[in-house]
Amino acid sequence: MKLSTAVLAGALLTLAVPAYAQSLGELAKREQQRRKAVPPAAKTYTNDDLKQLPPPTGTPGKPADGSAKETAAKPGDAKAAEPEKVAATKPPEPAKDEAYWRGRITSAREDVRRNEAFKEALQTRINALTADFSARDDPYQRAKVSDDRQKALAEMARVSADIEKTIKLIAEIEDEARRAGVPPGWLR
């Protein structure tokens, strides 16, 4: 019975190889025809082409070193009219409707909720590492646990700072909405 299974598997393998080779050959012919049909690239750039280019400079009208000096615009000067054109072509700000304010405040509150949950998890980890540290006698293991605990404490300080920053952002959003005359219900 084992012999017949091996013979059957060998027969299937020998039949599969020519079918695979045949489809691979067809695939190669199709790829060759496709490459002939595609027009050649107009220009191929190499590293040598890049070496011949001059080094990049600052934007037109500004020095490359970043020390831009303000010049007084003369009446009728074309450069003086450019800022007006740029300001006129800027896309308008998104409409500050109910969806805008709800989305903004909800996003900030979700960040606070997520960071507070992460802070609680970090506190649990710190407590476990502190207990593990006091239970260890091996200096190497104690050092490793102490290192992990210090990393968790640093991460907790970062998360706490993020929470404080986001809480301030929520207060700023509420104040901005109040100044803009937004109904309080939009921020709930």
Give residue-wise pLDDT tens across range 70-112: 444 455 555 555 555 555 566 666 667 888 889 999 999 999 9
Count of domains in the chain?
1
User: Does a structural domain hold residue 179?
Assistant: yes
pLDDT band at 1; cut points 50, 70, 90: low
Residues with Cβ < 8 Å from 169, sequence gap 6 or more?
108
Q: Which of 45-49, 135-139, 141-145, 172-176 has the lowest mean pLDDT?
A: 45-49
Closest CA to 162 of 119, 105, 98: 119
User: Does a structural domain hold residue 139?
Assistant: yes
Question: Taking residues 159-188, what's their average pLDDT?
Answer: 91
User: Does a structural domain hold residue 22?
Assistant: no
User: Does a structural domain hold residue 160?
Assistant: yes
Measure the CA–CA gap between 55 and 52, rounded to whole angstroms. 9
CB atoms within 10 A of CB 47: 6
User: Does a structural domain hold residue 88?
Assistant: no
Closest CA to 149 of 131, 162, 172: 131
pLDDT band at 24; cut points 50, 70, 90: confident
> Which alpha helices (H) appear in 38-138, and where do they start and end?
47-52, 78-89, 98-135
Give residue for tokens 């002939």. 36
DSSP single-letter state for residue 186: G
User: Does a structural domain hold residue 57?
Assistant: no
pLDDT for the residue numbered 10: 67
pLDDT for the residue numbered 70: 46
pLDDT for the residue numbered 69: 46
The pLDDT mean for the chain works out to 77
User: Does a structural domain hold residue 56?
Assistant: no
Q: Which domain holds residue 110?
A: 98-187
pLDDT band at 54; cut points 50, 70, 90: low
User: Does a structural domain hold residue 2?
Assistant: no
Q: Which of 3-17, 34-48, 56-70, 169-183 has the highest mean pLDDT?
A: 169-183
The yes-or-no verdict on residue 5 having pLDDT over 60 is: yes
pLDDT band at 47; cut points 50, 70, 90: confident
Question: Taking residues 151-173, what's their average pLDDT?
Answer: 94
